[in-house]
Amino acid sequence: MNPKKITIKITEDGNIFAKTKGIKGKDCLQYIELLEELLDAESIDSNYTEEYYETNMQTIRQNNQLIKGD
């Protein structure tokens, strides 16, 4: 399992850039909202990473049947 990370870059002119890594699906949006609150900032532009389109799938083998779920 990959650890969840957020990389934050603050430029000299005060712009803040954040990138999530290891956070799949829409969960990353919660982290960005928290950053906005902590930094008293507002997102003005965003791009989704490839991980945004992925889901956390768990595979369970039960009674010789393969079951997949979130």
Per-residue pLDDT of 21-56, as tens digits, reads 888 888 888 888 888 898 888 888 878 778 877 765
pLDDT band at 63 (very low <50, low <70, confident <90, very high): low
Strands (E), 1-70: 5-10, 16-21, 58-62, 65-69
**What is the per-residue pLDDT for 12?**
94
Q: 61 in helix, strand or coil?
A: strand
pLDDT value at 68 more than 60 = no
Higher pLDDT, 68 or 39: 39
Using alpha carbons, select from 13, 53, 38, 24 the residue that is nearest to residue 5: 24
Count other Cβ atoms within 10 Å, centred on residue 29: 15
Q: What pairs with residue 7 in β-bridges? A: 19
